[in-house]
């Protein structure tokens, strides 16, 4: 682990997980089954469960780890190994921009979710957005061996991808307060968002499997 990664682990990761868990827990329907896509070590899912003991969360990840607090199944990073509508909710926190094909993985999440898709990710909008996101990604993930293709989308590209899948947002928020000042002035801005997606009324059913 690089020294910047160690600093981040000690001073930022715990705070970030708690704040993010609060945002995401509020978006889950009561009593829902949740698939955490790209769940990592499962600590975010565990933090959500501390706030929402009515939901059930399992995970999938390309890199599975021992001792995780939730059940985790390996997958290839693109195809979710579950039938359509297998879960009420699919959740991905800072995952899609790591994918080989973010749009295809989002489509898989929509296929497997009977109710909604919940996302935390980034928007590549504003001054020096891309280099800032690349730096954050490298600091947070390079030491873990996570792929870094840097597939960041602008807000307009997110909207187009969501519409192509016959989904629509019923919640969108960019004021997440993940960083304390002064770090927030550089790393917060409009670079982060939480969103909840549902199938557009009247849209044809997605592909079944």
Banded pLDDT at 8 (limits 50, 70, 90):
very low
Asked if residue 183 has pLDDT above 80, the reply is: no
- For 78-110, the pLDDT digits (tens) are 999 999 999 999 999 999 998 889 999 999 999
109 close to 121: Cβ distance less than 8 angstroms? no
What's the Cα-to-Cα distance from 14 to each of 11, 59, 141, 187, rounded to whole Å?
Answer: 7, 20, 15, 17
User: How do 192-199 and 56-61 pair as beta strands?
Assistant: unpaired
pTM (two decimals): 0.89
**Rounded Cα–Cα distance for residues 51 and 25 (Å):** 7
| pLDDT at res. 141 | 75
Q: With pLDDT > 90 as the criterion, what percentage of the chain qualifies? A: 68
Taking Cα atoms as reference points, which of 56, 21, 68 lies closest to residue 194? 21
Question: What fold characterizes domain 3-85+126-188?
Answer: Rossmann fold (3.40.50)
Highest averaged pLDDT of the listed ranges 52-61, 62-71, 97-106, 200-209 = 52-61
User: Looking at the predicted structure, is the pLDDT value of residue 3 above 50?
Assistant: no
Quickly state the pLDDT bin for 145 (edges 50, 70, 90).
confident
pLDDT at 12: 57
Cβ atoms of 50 and 25 within 8 Å: the answer is no
């Amino acid at each position: 682990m690089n020294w910047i990664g160690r600093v981040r682990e000690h001073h930022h990761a715990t705070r970030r997980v708690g704040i993010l868990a609060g945002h995401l827990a509020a978006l889950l329907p009561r009593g829902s089954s949740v698939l955490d896509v790209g769940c990592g070590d499962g600590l975010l899912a565990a933090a959500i469960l501390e706030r929402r003991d009515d939901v059930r969360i399992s995970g999938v990840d390309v890199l599975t780890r021992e001792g995780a607090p939730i059940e985790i199944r390996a997958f290839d990073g693109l195809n979710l190994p579950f039938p359509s509508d297998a879960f009420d909710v699919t959740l991905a926190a800072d995952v899609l921009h790591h994918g080989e094909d973010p749009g295809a993985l989002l489509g898989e999440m929509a296929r497997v979710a009977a109710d909604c898709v919940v996302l935390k990710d980034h928007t590549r909008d504003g001054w020096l957005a891309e280099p800032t996101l690349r730096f954050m990604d490298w600091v947070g993930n390079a030491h873990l061996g996570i792929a870094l293709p840097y597939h960041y989308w602008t807000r307009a590209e997110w909207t187009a991808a969501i519409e192509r899948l016959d989904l629509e947002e019923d919640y969108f928020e960019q004021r997440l307060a993940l960083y304390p000042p002064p770090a927030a002035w550089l790393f917060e801005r409009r670079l982060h968002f939480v969103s909840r997606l549902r199938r557009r009324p009247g849209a044809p059913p997605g592909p079944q499997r």
